[in-house]
Amino acid sequence: MTHSSTVLIVEGEENLADLFRVWLQEQFEVHVAYSGEDALEIFAEEPIDIVLLDRRMPGLSGTEVLQSIRESGDAQQVIMITAVQSTEDIVSIDVDDYLLKPIDRTKLLAAVEAAELVLTYDESLTELLSLTAKKVTLEANPDKTELEKDDRYGDLLQIIRELEEEADTTLQRLETNYRIDMLVRDQRFGSQPIEQL
């Protein structure tokens, strides 16, 4: 089978990393690193499209690996997978999606497939999908009082509104030129206005 995207799994729990590999290897070319140091070696040698990144690992943390990846200047999709409960700090973490453990095969595949799809879109849509995923994650936290007081959250909502307008224009162009169905947008983050999310 021809693999369309290359995925790097960076996970400190070896059994979990190997399980993710089994789940993904039929659809994607998969590399596995059990530490941040190994991840950076693979990243330097192989063309990687999508990174599944454990946030807390011995040695180099996921955040440090992420910083090195972003400094490379390439446009990889990075999905952080962690047992760490989300807080407002994810607004400032430059990831494209944020998944909480435990995670099942269906959810992992859906996230990686969505990341692959995003790779075909322009920068404004990529940023919109990333920020919308952060918004959804933040709003899943039971304590919304602190969230609503945080200026970073208000700024996030404003940026999403602006990018949503740009993305609608982009998706209309893609639909016209390349027959990309607008349902793609609905499946990822819903078609309702931002105030209703």
pLDDT tens-digit series, residues 7-65:
999 999 999 999 999 999 999 999 999 999 999 999 989 999 999 999 888 888 888 99
pLDDT of res. 152: 87
Taking residues 102-128, what's their average pLDDT? Answer: 80
pLDDT of res. 170: 57
Q: How many residues does the chain have?
A: 197
pLDDT of res. 52: 96
Give Dmax (Cα) for the chain.
Answer: 50
Average pLDDT, the chain: 79
pLDDT top residue among 177 and 150? 150
pLDDT of res. 25: 95
Taking residues 109-130, what's their average pLDDT? Answer: 76
pLDDT of res. 41: 93
Q: In sequence order, what E strands does the chain have?
A: 6-10, 29-33, 50-54, 77-82, 97-100
The CA-atom distances, in angstroms, between 195 and each of 173, 190, 191, 192 are 25, 12, 11, 8
Name residue 50's beta-bridge partners. Answer: 7, 77
Q: Domain 1-120: give its CATH code.
A: 3.40.50.2300
Taking residues 159-184, what's their average pLDDT? Answer: 63
pLDDT top residue among 138 and 85? 138
% of the chain beyond a pLDDT of 90: 28
Taking residues 151-180, what's their average pLDDT? Answer: 73
140-150: b (≥16 Cβ within 10 Å) or e: eeeeeeeeeee
Residues 6, 29 contacting (CB under 8 angstroms): yes
pLDDT of res. 75: 66
Residue type, 116: E
Task: Give yes or no for residue 169 having a pLDDT over 80.
Answer: no
Q: How far apart are CA 96 and CA 52, in angstroms?
A: 10
SS3 category, 32 = strand
